[in-house]
Amino acid sequence: MPDIFIAEPKETAAAPNEPMPLISEDETNANKTPASLIDDRELESPQNPVHLFSAFKKDPDGIDFQDKESDEKIILFIRRSFITNVRWIFFGSLLVILPLFLPILLRFFPNPLPFLPVRFYFFISAFYYLVVATYWYINFISWYFNISLVTDKRVIDINFSNLVYKDVAATKMNLVQDVSFAQIGAIRTFFDYGDVLVQTAGTLDNLIFESAPQPENIVHIVEDLIGKRNELFG
């Protein structure tokens, strides 16, 4: 009578005596960096570039602005925190999906615009989506071009909103007297952004970095720069 309670030994996929490689094949390939792979273009490209959606970058590369001195180094690149864009992204998305509910509306009002020929409907809907796309675009570039820069020589604040308002303000680092930040509200605390106030000497306007990400970090960096300036020039 066969013993049914004794299980047969399982066959293992790998032989037990076979030595296991310490580094996988992929890892060994990743470590190989032949000189032929590194071409001149890679060497010329910036090491720490600012991307399309970057809101905070320390020691960025590849940025150039008007009147930049040859020996001037950009320490900080700041935009408004990306979370501040949620409102227009949400509203724009609502505008995109709104026409999808039009058939429900037409059920109750079969012909809402009786004076309008049917062939106009295509053009009106195409124009509507063009306006919505432009709304997205204008809001995006209002965020994209609203930039603050901290260099080793000065602080620059570029305000740009809704295509019609453009303001570029700059102050030298030795005129910066104090820097502080305000982070008010649960959302700002949660997403770690706030307003940074750069106070300047005399009658010069103060600079405000609105909704800047990592405000505490920014304050520390600017304070360090002010301290270094004071040490160097008394």
State the minimum distance, in angstroms, from the CB of residue 149 to another protein.
Answer: 8
CA 62/CA 54 separation, integer angstroms: 14
128 contacts another protein (rule: CB under 8 A): no
In the bound state with another protein, the residue whose beta carbon lies nearer, of 31 and 162, is: 162
Region of 1-9, 80-88, 115-123, 192-200 interacting with another protein (CB under 8 A): 115-123
44 contacts another protein (rule: CB under 8 A): no
Q: Is 128 in contact with 121 (CB distance < 8 Å)? A: no
Binding test (CB under 8 A) with another protein, winner from 3, 11, 64, 231: 64
CA 186/CA 193 separation, integer angstroms: 10
96 contacts another protein (rule: CB under 8 A): no
35 contacts another protein (rule: CB under 8 A): no
Binding test (CB under 8 A) with another protein, winner from 19, 117, 202, 234: 117
118 contacts another protein (rule: CB under 8 A): no
206: tokens are 């103060």
Binding test (CB under 8 A) with another protein, winner from 89, 130, 182, 201: 130
CA 230/CA 218 separation, integer angstroms: 18
CA distance readout (Å), 42 to 38, 45, 47, 149, 229: 6, 5, 9, 26, 35
Residue with tokens 């490209």: 45
Q: Spell out, one character per residue from 141 to 180, where the chain touches another protein: x when CB under 8 A holds, - when not.
A: x--xx-x-x--------x-x--x--x-x------------
The amino acid at 75: I
121 contacts another protein (rule: CB under 8 A): no
State the minimum distance, in angstroms, from the CB of residue 24 to another protein.
Answer: 35
CA 206/CA 112 separation, integer angstroms: 54
Closest by CA position to 208, among listed 192, 194, 226: 194
